[in-house]
Structure 1
């Protein structure tokens, strides 16, 4: 075991048990979040409120809160490498994770146009989550995930990887559509159109949900599944809130458009 982490955990079995507990706790927090969101909206973006702390510039907030999701795993891979990181299934899964968070932490924040400041409370919680989840995902994949040699040809890995790629593309493309709704100098909200937005109000959310569901299928671990569940809960409630808001805000909002699942919900 790595010297620094050995100061915390007496054995690899103890650390793996802790990682499992972290995953189960994330599922518990997903349930708590679901019930909390029945009574309020997540207080950032268009639902931001000063009662949740002083405002943080939206670009700075996104960069700082997402950066730990990239830096913590990077440190784990570079400074505490193990034989697992040389195995192809582990490498591909680690690459999927980094592909998302390189874009989310080092690219996306600097492409944001406008946007309301983020209150300090949700900003802080996002930082904590990114550290927590970044450690849990990467520590498991780089040190404990044990796959058969032919796992990359298993239907679960192939289907999961395809879902991850499709979700990532939908997420990035939908963010691009949202960024370009307003021309330079324009203010206010507009109805997003084209792409998956023709079918659902939360196209960007749907993309990320599919992305991490595919990652969970390909990874086949309680750690990735817990992350997928948490993501689904948070983003589905967000998509539902956006859909209600759009219907209230715009009289000409497409009535056939659903909140998150095309033609269904």
Structure 2
């Protein structure tokens, strides 16, 4: 209990981390309360199409007369939940593969290392676009939440695998690992008991920062028309629908863009704050 309280105090003192948590918590809370505080995001009203922001429609309406405030809230909720789900799945897969690669070594490490190099050699967004296309053709369907998740996970795990592999390579020759081997501890016990706990801090930092990158990828696919398909509200897709009305109705692009920016900023602030908390040498001001 005391340890948890001390961590909370450190987070509160670390202003960047606290602000990031506040931003993400606010966006997540608004998204969860969207059915209560916002209108139906699918409801159209052609008599109010392209209406500017007002008391009735705080963010204005889109080209079909749908309330943009509602669509942004629902879109932010989808982006957050999908982004966090992708990060958790990628972390699990990447850490498992990276730990095996680094700990086993030899030909296994060489094969996994070359696979990682291939993935890293191709720009991630290009790989995602290709994967979405291949999956849609293979499954004979249009892009959906599950296809977006699968396509991004298939490229996103590499970052975690590379980090975990490097950590395991640096840890497995340490004296406490060698001592455990001499005492007859099985490999799975060494990995769970000694290696994973020492690898958690940098992985947590990477995961927090990576959520922002994943949300940007989701929005990018949506903007290109390859992400979550209409009428489901998604921030990148809303941006795409408003590009033809940027002069006459700029709010259709401004508010979804701000939502994406604030979400990514929030996760980046949290990641930077956690990094400074977990690595005391990086703290410039002790009581910052």
TM-score by length of 1: 0.26
Greater relative contact order structure (CA < 8 Å, 6+ sep) = 2
Larger Rg: 2
